[in-house]
């Protein structure tokens, strides 16, 4: 008997219990008072999302350097109110039995000597310092009640570049083959899994369209290294290519994702341009994917999943105009 998958199936993602297969993926909130304290809109959004039937929430990205490229648009794990504010956010999620991960993403790394040190130039001491910063961020996420963290090794963020053969030509144990390039992340994951009861998710690129850069084959090898280190889930993202599913040609992401799922046991989350329940259920049933992520639909209407669940169907009001992304905030400029 073939069991059909549905976005509202209860399921497990590693050790997390999910009420549905839907993950609200990392989304800048950019709604803070002076000094970084969260505005009431953010608490309201989390309450609405958590009540709506979402399976897992990823926070907006956090940086740890106030001079990072996107620091202006997102929050910083080091602001004074971090633990207090986010303990309230994680309590809101947990009151509705929804797990929540803190996302860490940084574009530049300041090794103490150079504010934008490149993968090829960072010293071993710098690498240790970076790893310690990530582990400290994980501790902070844990103090604030997060169930785990997502390390962004995708898009064009620092770690995505570090693991990419296009940017990394190091001759030491952090460069060369895939195992070496991913070692900076593998060592962090091993420490986190050994010392904390914490879900560790990684966001990676399936490919990056750079000559001699990340290819689908290389990205599968990266996923294997992350799995070996102990990663609990992997979420796919893309640098410049967006995921479009028109139901005709088999989407290249689906071809890639099925191959990836054949090669690793760690759960894979696929997302991008998911806008209606029917085609999302088609994706679930036409591929081996078990978890789907969404961002902009939650900006347009944080509790849309409640309607979808009640009606057994639904289409997001999000028109993918991308104004929220361009302005880098969680405000829908079409349906304000
Ligand atoms: C307003 C906005 C903020 C975003 N912020 C983040 C972020 O903090 N971290 C992240 O990994 N991705 C971020 N993204 C990208 C989304 O997670 C997602 O990959 C992308 O929007 C495609 O999914 P969608 O079609 O469901 O919106 C953001 C996207 C938008 C629109």
User: Does the beta carbon of 272 sit less than 6 angstroms from any atom of ligand 1?
Assistant: yes
Q: How high is the pLDDT of residue 245? A: 47
Torsional class of 281: left (φ above 0), alpha (ψ -120 to 50), beta (otherwise): alpha
Alpha carbon of 296 to ligand 1 centroid (Å): 7
Chain centroid to CA 194: 22
User: Does the beta carbon of 201 sit less than 6 angstroms from any atom of ligand 1?
Assistant: no
Strand (E) or helix (H) holding 222: helix 216-229
Tens of pLDDT, residues 82-140: 999 999 999 999 999 999 999 999 999 999 999 999 999 999 999 999 999 999 999 99
Q: What value does the mean pLDDT take over residues 33-40?
A: 79
Alpha carbon of 295 to ligand 1 centroid (Å): 5
User: Does the beta carbon of 237 sit less than 6 angstroms from any atom of ligand 1?
Assistant: yes
Class of domain 22-327: alpha beta
Chain centroid to CA 323: 20
Q: How high is the pLDDT of residue 242? A: 42
Strand (E) or helix (H) holding 293: strand 291-294
Q: How high is the pLDDT of residue 253? A: 82
Under the banding of pLDDT at 50, 70 and 90, the label for residue 57 is: very high
Alpha carbon of 294 to ligand 1 centroid (Å): 8
Least confident of 304-308, 309-313, 316-320, 327-331: 327-331
Least confident of 95-104, 170-179, 249-258, 277-286: 249-258
| Contacts (Cβ under 8 Å, ≥6 apart) of 281 | 4, 5, 6, 7
Q: What value does the mean pLDDT take over residues 208-215?
A: 88
User: Does the beta carbon of 28 sit less than 6 angstroms from any atom of ligand 1?
Assistant: yes
Helix 178-195 and helix 216-229, axial crossing angle in degrees, nearest 10: 30
Q: How high is the pLDDT of residue 90? A: 98
Q: What value does the mean pLDDT take over residues 13-26?
A: 96
Pairing of strands 16-18, 11-13: antiparallel
Q: Which atom of ligand 1 is nearest to the CA of 242?
A: 22
What is the distance between the alpha carbons of residues 264 and 173, in angstroms, rounded to a whole number? 24
CB atoms within 10 A of CB 98: 26
Residue nearest to atom 28 of ligand 1 (CA): 27
Pairing of strands 22-24, 291-294: parallel
Q: Which residue has the higher pLDDT, 246 or 218?
A: 218
Helix 216-229 and helix 252-263, axial crossing angle in degrees, nearest 10: 40
Q: Which atom of ligand 1 is nearest to the CA of 330?
A: 1
User: Does the beta carbon of 43 sit less than 6 angstroms from any atom of ligand 1?
Assistant: no
Under DSSP, the state recorded for 178 is H
Tell me whether residue 145 is exposed, middle or buried, using C-beta atoms within 10 angstroms of its C-beta: 0 to 12, 13 to 18, 19 or more.
Answer: middle
DSSP 17-61: EESSSEEE-------B-GGGPBPHHHHHHHHHHHHTT-SEEEEEE
Alpha carbon of 301 to ligand 1 centroid (Å): 15
Residue nearest to atom 6 of ligand 1 (CA): 27
Six token digits for residue 48: 């609405």
Under the banding of pLDDT at 50, 70 and 90, the label for residue 30 is: confident
User: Does the beta carbon of 61 sit less than 6 angstroms from any atom of ligand 1?
Assistant: yes
Q: What pTM was computed for the model?
A: 0.95
What is the distance between the alpha carbons of residues 196 and 312, in angstroms, rounded to a whole number? 39
CB atoms within 10 A of CB 312: 9
Q: How high is the pLDDT of residue 163? A: 98
Six token digits for residue 301: 């209407």
Percent of the chain with pLDDT over 70: 95
Straight-line distance from the first to the last Cα atom of the chain, in angstroms, rounded to the nearest whole number: 46
Choose which residue among 24, 25, 318 to substitute to test ligand 1 binding: the one with the highest number of ligand atoms within 8 A of its C-beta. 25
The residues that bridge with 202 in the sheet, in sequence order, are 151, 234
Return the SS3 of 148.
Answer: strand
Torsional class of 212: left (φ above 0), alpha (ψ -120 to 50), beta (otherwise): left
Q: Which atom of ligand 1 is nearest to the CA of 154?
A: 11
Alpha carbon of 146 to ligand 1 centroid (Å): 20
């Amino acid at each position: 008997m073939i069991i059909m998958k549905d976005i509202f199936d209860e399921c497990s993602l590693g050790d997390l219990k999910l009420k549905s297969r839907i993950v609200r993926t990392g989304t800048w909130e950019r709604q803070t008072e002076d000094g970084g304290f969260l505005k009431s809109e953010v608490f309201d959004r989390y309450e609405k999302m958590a009540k709506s039937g979402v399976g897992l929430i990823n926070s907006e990205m956090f940086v740890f350097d106030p001079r990072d490229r996107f620091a202006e648009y997102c929050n910083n794990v080091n602001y004074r109110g971090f633990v207090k504010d986010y303990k309230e956010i994680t309590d809101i999620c947990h009151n509705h039995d929804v797990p929540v991960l803190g996302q860490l993403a940084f574009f530049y790394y300041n090794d103490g000597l150079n504010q934008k040190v490149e993968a090829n130039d960072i010293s071993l001491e710098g690498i240790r310092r970076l790893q310690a910063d990530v582990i400290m961020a994980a501790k902070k996420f844990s103090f604030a009640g997060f169930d785990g963290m997502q390390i962004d090794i995708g898009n064009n963020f620092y770690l995505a570049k570090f693991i990419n053969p296009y940017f990394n030509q190091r001759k030491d144990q952090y460069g060369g083959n895939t195992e070496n390039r991913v070692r900076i992340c593998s060592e962090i994951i091993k420490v986190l899994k050994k010392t904390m009861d914490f879900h560790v998710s990684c966001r990676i690129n399936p490919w990056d369209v750079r000559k001699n850069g990340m290819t689908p084959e290389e990205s599968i090898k990266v996923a294997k290294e992350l799995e070996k280190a102990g990663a609990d889930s992997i979420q796919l993202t893309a640098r410049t290519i967006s995921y479009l599913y028109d139901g005709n040609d088999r989407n290249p992401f689906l071809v890639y994702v099925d191959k990836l799922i054949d090669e690793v046991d760690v759960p894979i989350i696929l997302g991008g341009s998911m806008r209606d329940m029917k085609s999302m259920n088609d994706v679930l049933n036409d591929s081996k994917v078990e978890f789907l992520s969404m961002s902009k639909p939650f900006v347009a209407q944080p509790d849309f999943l409640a309607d979808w669940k009640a009606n057994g169907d639904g289409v997001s009001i999000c028109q993918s105009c991308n104004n929220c992304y361009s302005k880098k905030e969680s405000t829908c400029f079409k349906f304000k």
